């Protein structure tokens, strides 16, 4: 598997991503940003995993990342958007105040732009985002409820999922109508990135 930042990423963006990872390593020793076992393999486990989410998305005017935690994929999205002529507005939603402090520190240190909302997802007024992401946050059915609340009509949701993604789709279909395109993960042969649209709850 490829374990470097793609060649179309600029030197400035790579430097920002390296700054981000250095901060993640430093803060993980103090608060639980990411699993300590993933820090040594962080380019693949966190950076590349987030870059593939960004690459799978349509061009966005407003990108919302829910449960951002240690910054993946939301902070990486914010960094990558700095390369675009018209970067998306990026919103990071995280209920843990210590992690919000980290997110604001990382934005300042990397020079990326994003709004950090310190609140539970269900308490945030609808965001009207045209792209929404969430990584390792909740079962698909729960994520679809969040997406239905925070996506604009016609918006796209992007959810990385592990080996049991088919079971999650089957369970979510009991309550939701949606289209789901599984994209093979470049970081895990058993995982996929679900690109989802047309989200609507079942009547009744």
Residues making up the annotated binding site for S-adenosyl-L-methionine are: 67, 72, 121-122, 135
Q: Which strands form 115-118's sheet, in the order they lie side by side?
A: 115-118, 89-94, 62-66, 129-134, 151-161, 192-201, 176-184
Question: Taking a C-beta distance cutoff of 8 angstroms, is the pair 117, 46 a contact?
Answer: no
Question: Among candidates 42, 55, 108, 124, which has minimal Cα distance to 83?
Answer: 55
R_g (Cα) of the chain, nearest Å: 16
End-to-end CA distance of the chain: 46
The CA angle 201-69-79, to the nearest 5 degrees, is 100
Binding-site sequence positions: 67, 72, 121-122, 135
């Amino acid at each position: 598997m490829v374990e470097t930042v793609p060649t179309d990423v600029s030197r400035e963006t790579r430097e920002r991503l390296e700054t981000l990872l250095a901060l993640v390593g430093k803060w993980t020793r103090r608060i639980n940003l990411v699993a300590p076992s993933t820090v040594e393999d962080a380019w693949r486990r966190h950076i590349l995993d987030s870059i593939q989410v960004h690459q799978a998305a349509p061009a966005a005017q407003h990108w919302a990342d829910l449960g951002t935690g240690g910054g993946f994929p939301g902070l990486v999205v914010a960094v990558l958007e700095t390369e675009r002529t018209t970067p998306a507005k990026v919103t990071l939603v995280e209920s843990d105040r210590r992690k919000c402090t980290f997110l604001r520190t990382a934005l300042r240190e990397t020079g990326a732009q994003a709004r950090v909302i310190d609140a539970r997802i269900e308490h945030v007024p609808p965001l009207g985002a045209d792209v929404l992401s969430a990584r390792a946050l909740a079962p698909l059915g729960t994520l679809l409820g969040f997406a239905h609340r925070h996506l604009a009509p016609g918006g796209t949701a992007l959810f990385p999922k592990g080996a049991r993604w088919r079971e999650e789709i089957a369970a979510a279909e009991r309550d939701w109508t949606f289209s789901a395109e599984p994209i093979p993960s470049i970081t895990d042969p058993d995982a996929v990135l679900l690109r989802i649209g047309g989200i609507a709850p079942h009547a009744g």
